[in-house]
Amino acid sequence: MFGAGSIGCHLGGMLAATADVTLIGRPAAMAAIDAAGLTLTGPGGARREVRGLTVATDPAAVAGADHVLVTVKSADTATAARELAPHLGPDAVVVSFQNGLRNTRALAAALPAHRVLAGMVPYNVVRTGPAAVHQGSGGSLMLAAGEGAAALAGAARASALRLDLRPDMPAVQAAKLLLNLNNAVNALSGLPLREQVGQRAFRRCVARCQREALAAFRAAGVTPARLGPVPPGLMPWVLGLPDALFQRLAGASLRIDATARSSMWEDLQRGRPTEIDSLQGEIVALAERHGLTAPANARLITLVRRAEAAAPAATPAWTGPALLAQLPPAR
C-alpha cells in the first residue's frame, strides 16, 4: 500500500487477512501502527484488530511486491510514480485507488514497463485515531478487468472486501466523480455526511455542480456508469427534491453511519491540502476544453481554497442556504 493514509490503511488492513501486506506511509502514522497495530471499524459495529503488519516509510519497500496499490492524493501522483519506478519488480502490477479521472493515465505514462489498473473505492474512510480508521458507508470496490486483476480480486474477496471487476472503468470513474462533487459541500458544511445530505439546500449545491459536470461529460463524449438506483442523468433532479420525497426515493444515500464525513473535511481539519483540483477542478477544466463554463464548481473551488488557507479551527461551517447563495444561479 503506497501512500497508506485512511484508504490505504483500510485496504491494507483488510487484505492482511489473506495477503502479505506492507504499508508505506508517513513516519508518524507508520510508527503508531507499528506500536499498536491497526484498528478497522465499519458499518454495523464491525471491528477488526490487525497486528503484525509490516510498515515502512521508504519507497524501496515495494521491491518484490506482486501488486502496488497507490492511494496517495492526486496531487502526489507524479511524485509517487517517480519514487516507485526504481524499485518495482518487472512483473509488478500497479493499481490506482484514487479519486479523479487522470491518475491511472499519469501512472501508466510514468511507468510504461508496468501494467497499471484503475480501481475505485465507493465508500468514505476517515482516520479516527493514530492507528485507527473507520469505514462509514458500504459498497463494492471496483477494479479494471484485465491482466493482473484476478489475483488481487481473489485476495480481496477472501479478505471480506467486496470487489467487482469492470470492463468500463473510465465510465465508473466519471460516475464516482459525480458523487465526489459532494465532498467540497460536506467539508464546507462541517456536518457529518448523513446530516448534510439530509438537507435540501446542501443537496441543491451538489446538484448544480452535477449539472455542470454532466454537460461537460456530454461535450466530451463521456457517459458515466450507473452505480446505484438512480441513473446519473437524474441525480441532480433527485437531489433537488424536498427532504421527505428524497428520503423515500433515495434512502440508500442516507444509509451511512452518523459519524461518516468526507475525506476533504478531514483534510481541512488536519490542515492539509485538499483534492479539490481533482474533483471540482476536473469539471471546470473539462468544461473549458469544450467551450463551456462550470461556475458553481469554480465557486466551490474558491471557497475551499479559502478554507485551506485558514487555520483548521477557523474553518467556516456554512449553512445550506448560505452556501447555496454563494453559487451562481442555475442556468
- Model confidence pLDDT, tens digit, residues 27-79: 999 999 999 999 999 887 889 999 989 999 999 999 999 999 999 999 999 99
Whether residue 253 is predicted with pLDDT greater than 70 in this model: the reply is no
Same domain, 116 and 210: no
- Four-CA torsion 176, 178, 183, 189, nearest 10 degrees: -150
Q: How many domains does the chain have?
A: 2
- The answer to whether residue 22 sits within a structural domain is yes
On the question of pLDDT at 80 being above 80, the answer is yes
Choosing from 167, 199, 221, the residue where a domain stops is 167
pLDDT computed for residue 150 by the predictor: 93
For 261, the domain range is: 172-326
Residue 143: is its pLDDT beyond 90? yes
pTM for this prediction: 0.92
Domain containing residue 231: CATH number = 1.10.1040.10
Q: Are residues 235 and 251 in the same domain?
A: yes
Same domain, 156 and 289: no
Same domain, 183 and 155: no
Residue 177 and residue 297 in one domain: yes
Mean pLDDT of the chain: 93
Does the pLDDT of residue 252 top 70, yes or no? no
Asked if residue 1 belongs to a domain, the reply is no
Same domain for 219 and 233: yes
Q: Which of 144, 167, 190 is the last residue of a domain?
A: 167
The residue among 5, 131, 12 whose CA lies nearest residue 65 is 12
Please check whether residues 163 and 185 belong to one and the same domain: no
Residue with cell 421527505: 244
Domain annotation covers residue 238? yes
pLDDT at 117 over 80: yes
